[in-house]
Chains A and B, each alone.
Chain A
C-alpha cells in the first residue's frame, strides 16, 4: 500500500446520494437559519471550525467529572464491531483508570467530533491513537496540576487506578477530587501534543485484555434502546409509499384516498409520499389506500439473468487507475504475454448481495424552532447531517444526528434515507415521527454490494514462474485489486459500469470479489505450473506478514499431510490476502458429491494478523463473524431481479448463514505486539470464498468461477 492510498483510507467507499430535495418556503428558510445560528452559539459547535483529522484540544475529546468518571467523545458509532469498548479501553489504558470509570459519548453531531464515519477499518489505526494521545496528555496535565496544588515536583507523583499519589506514600487525590477543586475543562483546553508517549503493548493492563462489550447487560435484559426503540412523547409512526419497481416513476395518485385527520398525516412533496399515524398499522393501511390509486411508469430494466453481459456492455469512462479508467501498469505486459511459456485466462463473477443488518433502516425525527434532531442508525452521522440539511435546505447546524448503538451495519448504513424520510413526515405532522423500514423495503430500496466481473490473465515462464499479471475488474471496485505476488509485468484496472441496482459499500468492499478471482486464479496457475498451491504462492510472495499468516494457517490445518492423503470426495484449498493493513489466510476442507452437484464445507482454518491485538475477545468474534458472513457470499447469497423488481426480497428467497451452516472453525490469531494495531472487522472475510472454491476444485476437478459457488452436474 503506498502513501497516496494511506492518505485516502476511504477512497473506495461508495456513497449513494440522497433521494429527495424538498421544497422550502422562503419564510421557513429564514426561520431555520436563525435557529441554526442560535444552536451554533449555544452548542458551541466545538468542531465546526476544525478540519477533520486536524489538531484538537484535549477538552474536546475528554471530560473529567467530579465523580471521577471520564467521558470520551467520539464521532464513531457502535454497530456491533466493538468501537465503544475498544475506545474506552484506549482511554482507560492511558489515563490509568479502570474501564468502569470511562463513559463513552458517541456519535451525536451536537457534541462529538467528526471522526470521519465508521468504515474502512479506521477506528483502530486512526481513532484509537487519537483517543490514547488525548488521554495520555490529560494524564500528564492532571499530574502537573496536582504537583502545582501541592507545591511538589511532578516526578514525585504517579497515577494509579484514577488516583494521583505521591510515590513517597504521602498524599493522594482522585481525578474526581481534582475536578472539584480545579476547572479541569480549562486545564484540558490545550492541543494534544504530537510527541506524546503512549504506553507500550508490554505495559498494557487494559488494552490487550479479553473484554466483553460495554453495555452487554442492557442488551441481554432488553433495556438497551436501539435507534428503532427510541420513543418520544406524542410521537407518530411513519410509512413511505414505495414504487412497485426500482425504476418506476409516479404518473398519478389520489391523495384523498387516505383521509388526513388529527391522527393521520399524509404528505406529498415531489416524489415523496408518506403517512404518519399513532401506529405503524394505521400508517401502513393509509399508505396502501394511496398505493391502490397510484399509476406508475415502469421503463424496461435489465434482469439478473443478463447481469454480467449488461455490465460488460455498459462501462463508464473517466477516473483513472484503481478508481476506474486507465489501467495501472508496470513492466511490459504485452511483451510478457508474448514471451510466456503458458498464458492462462479466466473470468470470475460475483452477484449483488445485501448486508441484511438485523435492524433495518430506521429513524426518529423531531423538529423544534426550525431545527431537527434525528436519532438514526448510520455509519456516517456527519454525512447524514449533511444529507438532511441538503434535503431541507437547512444549515448543517440546524440538524442534529444522534446514533444510538445500532443493530448491525456491515457497510450498509452509510446513507440516511430513513433520516430524511422521518424528518419529512415529522415536519408535516408537527410531531415526532419514527420510521422503520420493513425487511422487504431493505431488499428493494437499500443499496447492494456491487456485482462484479473480473477478467484475469497471467503468463508463466518455462520454470512455472509468474511473469505477467493482468487483472480487470468491472463494476465491483478497486479495493484489494492489487496483486501481492511477484510478477514483473502487471496491468491492473477497475472499470466502473452503469449499475442496474443501487450499490454501495460492504464489509471489505470489493476486496472479497477481487480476492475470490485472484486467489482462485492462483490455483489455476499453480495447477498449470504443476506446483502445490501453497508452495506456488510462497514462491511468489515477498511480504513477510502475508507469508507468516499463510504458513500459520497451513500448519494449523495440516496442509502438507492432508494434501498427501487424498480422501474420496474430500478436497482442501487455501487462499490468502491483505487489505487495510491486515493479513489473512484460510484453509478449507469440503466434501462434494459431484454426481448430485452437492457439497458441504467441513472445516475452515484461518490465520489473521492485524498488528498488536487490543481486544482478543472481540477480535475472535470479528474473525468468526467475517468467516461465517463470508460463507453467505460464497455459498448462498445472491440478489435476483426482473423488470425492476427484486425477486429475492425476503429471507425466504434470500438466504443468509444460520447455525447449521457453520463448519468446524479453527482460528489462529497472530499477535504482533511490535507492530501498530490495525482494524479487523473486514479483512477476515476476503479469503473464505476462494479457499472453498479451491477445495471444490481439488474435490471435483471443477473450476467454479462464479459466486455463490454451485457445482455443475
Chain B
C-alpha cells in the first residue's frame, strides 16, 4: 500500500505518496521528473544510478524509497550552483571526458563524493573508488584525466 515519504531533494523539501518498495531511481525519474540518474543494470553493478544521500553515494536502482525517509538527496541536477558548474563537472567538460555520456552523472557524483572525503586521493585510491563504476564506451582514460584535473583544481583552490 502507498505510504507518505518526506525528504529533501536538491535543496527542496519533497513529499510523495507511493509504494515503499519502489526504487529511489524510479521515483526520481518517473514521479519527480529528475532523469539525470540513469537506469543501467537494476542490480547496483554499474553505478549509473548514483545519487548522494546525506553526502554519501547511494545506488538508487537498488534502494527502496522507504529507506530515504527524512534524508537529504543530491542528484546530478542539483550539483551545479545556478550556472556555475561544480569543479568535477568543469573537469569533464574541459577534458571532453565522455562519449555517450550515459554513465557521466553517476561518475561525476562518485568523484564528487570521493573528493569531499579525500581531496588529494592517490591513483590507487582513485582506482579503488571508481573501479565499480561502469563506462561501456570504455572512456576510462578520459575519466581519469578529468579526475586528475579536478584534483589539481582543488589543490589550486587551497
Give residues in A with beta carbon < 8 Å to B. 79-82, 210-213, 216-217, 219-226, 228-229, 231, 237, 279-281, 356-360, 405-410, 436, 438-440, 617-618, 621-622, 624-629, 632, 650-652, 656-660, 662, 665
Which 10 residue pairs spanning A and B have beta carbons closest together?
A222-B36, A80-B100, A407-B102, A222-B76, A628-B138, A219-B101, A80-B99, A229-B35, A212-B96, A358-B102
Q: Does B134 interact with chain A (Cβ within 8 Å)?
A: yes
B99 and A439 contact, CB distance less than 8 A: no
Q: Which of A225, A405, A627, A651 is within 8 Å of B134, CB to CB?
A: A651
Output the residue of A225, A618, A629, A658 with the most chain B CB within 10 A: A658
Output the residue of B19, B31, B35, B131 with the most chain A CB within 10 A: B35
Distance A360 CA – B138 CA, assembled complex (angstroms): 16
In angstroms, how far is the closest chain B Cβ from the Cβ of A634?
13
Q: Which residues of A contact B46 (CB under 8 A)?
A: 358, 651
B43 and A221 contact, CB distance less than 8 A: no
Output the residue of A82, A219, A356 with the most chain B CB within 10 A: A219
Q: With A231-B33, A280-B26, A621-B142 given, is the CB distance from A357 to B76 under 8 Å?
A: no
A621 and B31 contact, CB distance less than 8 A: no
In angstroms, how far is the closest chain A Cβ from the Cβ of B103?
5
Q: Which residues of A contact B66 (CB under 8 A)?
A: none
- Return 25 A-B CB contacts under 8 Å, by A number: A80-B99, A212-B96, A216-B93, A219-B98, A219-B101, A219-B105, A220-B85, A220-B101, A221-B36, A358-B38, A358-B100, A358-B135, A360-B40, A405-B100, A408-B99, A408-B136, A408-B137, A439-B40, A624-B142, A656-B134, A658-B134, A659-B133, A659-B143, A660-B127, A662-B140
Output the residue of B41, B45, B131 with the most chain A CB within 10 A: B41
Distance A499 CA – B36 CA, assembled complex (angstroms): 38
Q: Which residues of B contact A439 (CB under 8 A)?
A: 40-43
In angstroms, how far is the closest chain A Cβ from the Cβ of B31?
7
Q: Does B54 interact with chain A (Cβ within 8 Å)?
A: no
Distance A408 CA – B99 CA, assembled complex (angstroms): 8
Interface residues of B in 83-102 (CB under 8 A from A): 85, 89, 92-94, 96, 98-102
B side interface size, CB within 8 A = 59
Q: With A360-B39, A650-B43 given, is the CB distance from A221 to B89 under 8 Å?
A: yes
A659 and B140 contact, CB distance less than 8 A: yes
Interface residues of B in 62-110 (CB under 8 A from A): 75-77, 79-80, 85, 89, 92-94, 96, 98-105, 108
Interface residues of B in 16-58 (CB under 8 A from A): 18-19, 21-23, 26, 29-31, 33-43, 45-46, 48
Whose C-beta in chain B lies nearest to the C-beta of A442?
Answer: B41
Output the residue of B23, B33, B98 with the most chain A CB within 10 A: B98
Q: Does B119 interact with chain A (Cβ within 8 Å)?
A: no
B93 and A279 contact, CB distance less than 8 A: no
Distance A625 CA – B30 CA, assembled complex (angstroms): 32
Q: Which residues of B contact A440 (CB under 8 A)?
A: 42
Distance A237 CA – B25 CA, assembled complex (angstroms): 14
In angstroms, how far is the closest chain B Cβ from the Cβ of A614?
15
Whose C-beta in chain B lies nearest to the C-beta of A235?
Answer: B30
B127 and A659 contact, CB distance less than 8 A: yes
A225 and B35 contact, CB distance less than 8 A: yes
Whose C-beta in chain A lies nearest to the C-beta of B143?
Answer: A659
Distance A629 CA – B139 CA, assembled complex (angstroms): 10
Q: With A221-B79, A659-B131 given, is the CB distance from A625 to B101 under 8 Å?
A: no
Q: Which residues of B contact A81 (CB under 8 A)?
A: 99
B43 and A621 contact, CB distance less than 8 A: no
Q: Does B114 interact with chain A (Cβ within 8 Å)?
A: no
Q: Which residues of B contact A632 (CB under 8 A)?
A: 138
Output the residue of A211, A221, A629 with the most chain B CB within 10 A: A221
In angstroms, how far is the closest chain A Cβ from the Cβ of B62?
12
In angstroms, how far is the closest chain B Cβ from the Cβ of A16?
21
B38 and A621 contact, CB distance less than 8 A: no
Distance A629 CA – B100 CA, assembled complex (angstroms): 14
Q: With A279-B22, A358-B48, A621-B139 given, is the CB distance from A220 to B108 under 8 Å?
A: yes
Q: Which residues of A contact B134 (CB under 8 A)?
A: 358, 651, 656, 658
A358 and B141 contact, CB distance less than 8 A: no
Q: With A229-B35, A625-B138 given, is the CB distance from A359 to B26 under 8 Å?
A: no
In angstroms, how far is the closest chain B Cβ from the Cβ of A597?
23
Q: Does B154 interact with chain A (Cβ within 8 Å)?
A: no
Distance A237 CA – B79 CA, assembled complex (angstroms): 28
Q: Which residues of A contact B102 (CB under 8 A)?
A: 80, 226, 357-359, 406-408
Q: With A220-B85, A237-B30, A407-B102 given, is the CB distance from A652 to B45 under 8 Å?
A: yes
Distance A221 CA – B82 CA, assembled complex (angstroms): 11
Whose C-beta in chain A lies nearest to the C-beta of B22?
Answer: A281
A216 and B92 contact, CB distance less than 8 A: yes
B30 and A279 contact, CB distance less than 8 A: yes
Q: Which residues of B contact A220 (CB under 8 A)?
A: 76, 85, 89, 92-93, 98, 101, 104-105, 108
B76 and A221 contact, CB distance less than 8 A: yes
Question: Given known contacts A220-B98, A220-B105, A658-B133, what 20 new A-B pairs fall within 8 Å (CB)?
Answer: A213-B98, A217-B93, A220-B108, A222-B34, A222-B35, A222-B75, A223-B77, A224-B101, A228-B38, A231-B35, A358-B48, A358-B135, A359-B38, A359-B102, A407-B100, A439-B40, A622-B99, A624-B138, A624-B139, A656-B134
Q: Which residues of B contact A216 (CB under 8 A)?
A: 92-93, 96, 98, 101
Q: With A358-B40, A358-B134, A656-B134 given, is the CB distance from A406 to B100 under 8 Å?
A: yes
- 1/0 per residue B125-155: CB within 8 Å of A? 0010011111111111111100000000000
In angstroms, how far is the closest chain B Cβ from the Cβ of A63?
26
B100 and A79 contact, CB distance less than 8 A: yes
A624 and B136 contact, CB distance less than 8 A: no
Distance A656 CA – B94 CA, assembled complex (angstroms): 27
B140 and A219 contact, CB distance less than 8 A: no
